[in-house]
Amino acid sequence: MSKNNIDKKIILGEEFIPKQWYNIQADLPKSLPGHYNTRESRLATVDDFSMLFSKAAATQEFSKERFIDIPQEVREIYKIWRTTPLVRATGLEKALGVKSKIYFKNESVSPSGSHKSNSAVAQAFYNKSEGITRITSETGAGQWGSALSMACKEFDLECMVYMVKISFMQKPYRKSLMEVFGAKVVASPSELTKTGREILAKTPDTTGSLGDAIAEAIEDTLTHKNSKYSLGSVLNHVLMHQTVIGLEAKKQMEAVDAYPDIVIGCLGGGSNFAGVAFPFLMDKLQKSTPLRAIAVEPSACPKLTKGEYTYDFGDSTGLTPALKMHTLGHNFTPQGIHAGGLRYHGASPLVSLLVDEKVVEARAVAQKEVFEAALLFARSEGILPAPESAHAIKVAMEEALKAERDGTPKTILFNLSGHGHFDLSAYDNYLKGNISDCDYSQEEVNRNLKSLPKINT
């Protein structure tokens, strides 16, 4: 039970939906190493990115303007679920027996059940306004695919999703949700693309990979008229779209006279962490406001804590420009027993730079402790978290318990990026004792990285 006289939820009216995104490129401690066009051995340009993305998104990718206007049409769609609640986790605080104040931003209330909708709506709008009629993308677990499907429906765009075959088979409900929102969803590798047909000819029994799905989506984009590709994380413009999370959270914390000592987000590609943390990091970078920002990754996919900060491709076949990032190598796939999401081999260039500059801390957590934290959170706060988000919950708990031991209660903010309504089979496995930890030694990571050809920049 929560305590009295504390606002459980801080909810602001829709006039508080931010009017601009925050672009951290304006405030970086050193300039961001450019994306690299390896085919032509030069830095990638807006024009390179415009081949695949809307002109507006491509321009944002390279922009150093501090604030970029959110189009009114995007804010209108945001109103469906934004502003999202900032919640004081009184139940969790009580369960832990801590005096620290734990807040979370509840992004699970969106149409797709996760923060992914924030960028999907923006990308769909820009494509629509540039005369595009069809967007292609890939999805693994399905959060991004759901978000893009709904966003395309709002702007009457066709949506084509290549869904990694193993997810397609194991998560039929995610697929159905995308279809409810009007998208066309196929299992990847598929018969629809040359890439897919070649993979199937070679390995007919493959369960697919995100790399294959990206390759199919890109081929599909390039072979269809008025078609563009869309990505749900990693890139600068995608992270920027997510800053509505932290910008709202700042206003909400202001309303209760609070400011976080620690901001926490889980990290797959980086959009979740960046969304909640970048607007607070603005204060740290501009005014040296004391703040710890922690990006949490699974020990099953430890690019920030064990990977190398180097140029690597975004997909497994080298179709994309090379990005300077913390990476495990673009051929990396986590072990099959990993159920908690956040499986991408690289971290966004922006977060990678901030980790390298020691502005942001990175931490890896193991699978079982993540599900244990998720269960405690569900039981004390009444919200079933996505396993991804539970990585942030776990570290929020650790930090609150440490602060208690130190006798210095903190104000902690984490991003509850999504709900776990479509992840109950993973929870079921945990409850049955069928979830185990999996991680990689530094030697294994290094060995894999060495096996890859060095990218010349």
Of 27-35, 62-70, 72-80, 238-246, the window that binds a copy of itself (rule: CB under 8 A) is 72-80
Minimum distance from residue 180 beta carbon to a copy of itself (Å): 5
Give whichever of 133 and 457 is closer to a copy of itself, judged by the CB atom. Answer: 133
**Position among 70, 92, 96, 109 found at the interface with a copy of itself (CB under 8 A):** 109
Site string for a copy of itself, 88-107 (x = CB under 8 A): ---x----------------
Pick the closer one to a copy of itself by CB: 410 or 419. Answer: 419
List the one residue from 375, 401, 452, 455 that touches a copy of itself (CB under 8 A): 375
**CB of 42 or CB of 379, closer to a copy of itself:** 379
CA distance 165 to 173: 14
Among 5-13, 280-288, 322-330, 351-359, the segment contacting a copy of itself (CB under 8 A): 5-13
Question: CA nearest 79: which of 111, 50, 104?
Answer: 111
- Which residues have CB under 8 Å from 359's CB, separation 6+? 29, 281, 284, 285, 293
Q: Which is nearer to a copy of itself, 147 or 449 (CB)?
A: 147
As measured in angstroms, the least distance from the Cβ of 72 to a copy of itself is: 8
- The overall longest dimension of the chain from CA atoms, in Å, is 65
* Complex with a copy of itself: residue 4 or 288, whichever CB lies closer: 4
CA-CA distance, 240 to 217, in Å (whole number)? 23
- Which element (helix H / strand E) includes 22? strand 20-22
Residue type, 347: A
From 62, 81, 317, 452, residue interacting with a copy of itself (rule: CB under 8 A)? 81
**CA–CA dist 182, 210 (Å, integer):** 22
Does residue number 7 form part of the binding site for a copy of itself (CB under 8 A)? yes
Contact map string, positions 382 to 421, toward a copy of itself, x by CB under 8 A? xxx------------------------------------x
Choose which of 18, 33, 113, 189 interacts with a copy of itself (CB under 8 A): 113
The vertex-360 CA angle with 355 and 361, nearest 5°, equals 90
Q: How far is the CB of 226 from a copy of itself (least distance, A)?
A: 20
Minimum gap (Å) between residue 433 Cβ and a copy of itself: 13
Smallest distance from the beta carbon of 113 to a copy of itself, in angstroms? Answer: 7
- As a whole number of angstroms, the distance between CA 296 and CA 247 comes to 20
Q: Output b/e per residue, 368-394; b: 16+ Cβ within 10 A.
A: ebbbbbbbbbbebbebbbbbbbbbbbb
For residue 80, state whether it binds a copy of itself (rule: CB under 8 A). yes
Name which position in 65, 169, 424, 444 contacts a copy of itself (CB under 8 A).
Answer: 424
Query: Would you say 418 and 389 are in contact if contact means Cβ atoms under 8 Å apart?
Result: yes
Is residue 200 classed exposed, middle or buried when 0-12, 13-18 and 19+ CB atoms within 10 A define those classes? Answer: middle
The answer to whether residue 13 forms part of the interface with a copy of itself (CB under 8 A) is yes
One character per residue 22-61, x = contact with a copy of itself (rule: CB under 8 A): ----------------------------------------
Applying the rule CB under 8 A, the residues between 260 and 289 that interact with a copy of itself are none
**Which residues, 125 to 164, sit near a copy of itself by CB under 8 A?**
150, 153-155
Task: Verify binding: residue 180, a copy of itself, rule CB under 8 A.
Answer: yes
Asked if 198 touches a copy of itself (CB under 8 A), the answer is no
CB 417 within 8 A of CB 143: no
112 CB burial (10 A radius; 0-12, 13-18, 19+): buried
Residue 298 near residue 392, CB atoms below 8 Å: no
* 172 near a copy of itself, rule: CB under 8 A: yes
| Element housing 91 (H / E) | helix 90-96
Q: How far apart are CA 85 and CA 109, in angstroms?
A: 9
Q: How many residues does the chain have?
A: 457
CB of 170 to a copy of itself, least distance (A): 13
Least separation in angstroms between residue 234's CB and a copy of itself is: 25
Are 270 and 383 spatial neighbours (Cβ–Cβ below 8 Å)?
A: no
| Alpha carbon distance 389, 378 (integer Å) | 12
* Binder among 177, 239, 281, 362 for a copy of itself (CB under 8 A): 177
8 lines the binding site for a copy of itself (CB under 8 A) = yes
Q: Measured from the CB of residue 265, what is the shortest distance to a copy of itself in angstroms? A: 22
Give the separation between CA 200 and CA 27, rounded to whole angstroms: 46
How many residues bind a copy of itself, per CB under 8 A? 47
The owner of tokens 């072990």 is: 335
User: What's the rounded Cα separation, in Å, for the pair 337 and 440?
Assistant: 13
Chain positions contacting a copy of itself, by CB under 8 A: 1-2, 4, 7-9, 11, 13-14, 72-73, 76-77, 79-81, 91, 109-111, 113, 150, 153-155, 172-173, 176-177, 179-182, 375, 378-379, 381-384, 421-422, 424-425, 427-428, 431
